[in-house]
């Protein structure tokens, strides 16, 4: 089994990564960053997000493991003092893996036939930073509403505890195979009207946003910010691809939510 160990720049993470690499080599694993079978991240959720995008082209072939060096994260199941147990678990392949849904984002432009595709682990958000964003929202190719406001965001179930939650989205259990559409500061008055509530879209449905032509948009895909010129539409749906986590520790999801946001249990 070829393993890549990816750490953030914090001293603790760098030290843990060094220790883990030594333990992996001693156990007979091969360290390999180009074409790994397993990617182990050391840090927090952001470190795992980064690693996901580094290896997104090999997403069908790679399994992820997150070790956290700070607070328990949503993508990080292992603690930094459990390295021996983690190596043993990998050696014996005792824990079963889990798959989480990813978001497929397709962009079209008014000045070219070419389209762009992204996969997101947390969410994709589009904003018009200069003026009110106007977007026609289609669900399954049927016009649902015309949105006016700062922007629109579509998140995965695992992304529901990230930006989506901050803009009023529901927390969704990762086993629910659905995506969530959230408004960012919509204008709702007697003239302009959009639903104003988060919408949970089923697996076999998709969202299309038709954007006002000629405006400049900012696209956020997880931690990336990508300025967009001549963007005319976005189609968002659950991807056929999924992310796999190896040696998954079954932390009770709602306990994890409590731990992250309430901290009383
Ligand atoms: P970052 O790496 O500084 O992350 C911001 C916070 O979001 C961190 O505390 C991180 O642990 C947490 N986070 C990331 N993914 C999460 C998830 N799935 N569930 C719960 N918490 C999660 O910020 P960045 O590099 O700019 O962006 C990474 C992600 O952070 C984005 O995908 C976005 O969802 C989130 N974010 C949230 C806000 C907000 O809530 N206002 C703002 C910026 C970014």
Atom 4 of ligand 1, residue of closest alpha carbon: 46
> Closest ligand 1 atom to the C-alpha of 45?
11
Same domain, 25 and 82: yes
Same domain, 89 and 110: no
- Residue 170 annotated as lining a ligand binding site: no
Same domain, 214 and 254: no
Q: Which domain holds residue 31?
A: 2-97+246-262
Same domain, 106 and 227: yes
> Closest ligand 1 atom to the C-alpha of 122?
32
> Closest ligand 1 atom to the C-alpha of 75?
18
The count of residues in the chain is 265
Catalytic residue among 45, 77, 104, 222: 45
Residue 95 binned pLDDT confidence (cut-offs 50, 70, 90): low
Is residue 45 annotated as part of the catalytic site, yes or no? yes
Same domain, 82 and 120: no
Summarised one tens digit per residue, pLDDT across range 241-258 is: 999 998 667 678 999 999
Same domain, 141 and 111: yes
Smallest CA-to-CA distance from 194 within 204, 178, 182, 211 is with: 182
**192: domain CATH number?**
2.60.200.30
Summarised one tens digit per residue, pLDDT across range 112-165 is: 999 999 999 999 999 998 899 999 999 999 999 999 999 999 999 999 999 999
Same domain, 28 and 59: yes
Same domain, 75 and 132: no
Atom 24 of ligand 1, residue of closest alpha carbon: 223
- Report CA(224)–ligand 1 centroid distance (Å): 11
The predicted model scores a pTM of 0.96
Summarised one tens digit per residue, pLDDT across range 184-214 is: 999 999 999 999 999 999 999 999 999 999 8
Pocket of ligand 1 (CB under 6 A): 44-46, 49, 73-74, 122-123, 158-159, 161-163, 166, 222-223
Same domain, 106 and 195: yes
- Report CA(52)–ligand 1 centroid distance (Å): 14
**67: domain CATH number?**
3.40.50.10330
Atom 37 of ligand 1, residue of closest alpha carbon: 163
Atom 44 of ligand 1, residue of closest alpha carbon: 163
Same domain, 115 and 232: yes
Total number of domains in the chain = 2
């Amino acid at each position: 089994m070829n393993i890549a160990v990816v750490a953030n720049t914090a001293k603790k993470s760098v030290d843990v990564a060094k220790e883990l690499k030594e333990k992996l080599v001693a156990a007979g694993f091969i360290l390999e960053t180009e074409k790994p079978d397993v990617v182990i991240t050391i840090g927090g959720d952001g470190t795992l997000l980064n690693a996901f995008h580094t290896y997104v082209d090999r997403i069908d072939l790679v399994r992820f493991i997150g070790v956290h060096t700070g607070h328990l994260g949503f993508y990080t199941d292992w603690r930094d003092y459990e390295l021996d147990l983690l190596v043993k678990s990998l050696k014996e392949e005792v824990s079963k893996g889990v798959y989480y849904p990813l978001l497929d984002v397709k962009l079209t432009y008014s000045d070219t036939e070419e389209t762009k595709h992204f996969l997101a682990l947390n969410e994709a958000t589009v904003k018009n930073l200069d003026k009110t964003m106007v977007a026609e929202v289609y669900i399954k190719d049927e016009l649902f509403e015309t949105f006016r406001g700062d922007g629109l965001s579509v998140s995965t179930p695992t992304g529901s505890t990230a930006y989506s939650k901050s803009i009023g989205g529901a927390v969704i259990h990762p086993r629910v195979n659905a995506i969530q559409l959230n408004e960012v500061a919509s204008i709702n008055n007697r003239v302009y009207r959009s639903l104003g509530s988060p919408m949970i879209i089923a697996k076999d449905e998709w969202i299309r946003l038709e954007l006002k032509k000629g405006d400049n948009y900012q696209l956020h895909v997880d931690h990336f910010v990508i300025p967009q010129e001549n963007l005319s539409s976005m189609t968002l749906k659950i991807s056929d691809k999924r992310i796999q986590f190896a040696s998954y520790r079954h932390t009770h999801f709602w306990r994890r939510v409590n731990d992250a946001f309430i901290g009383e249990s």
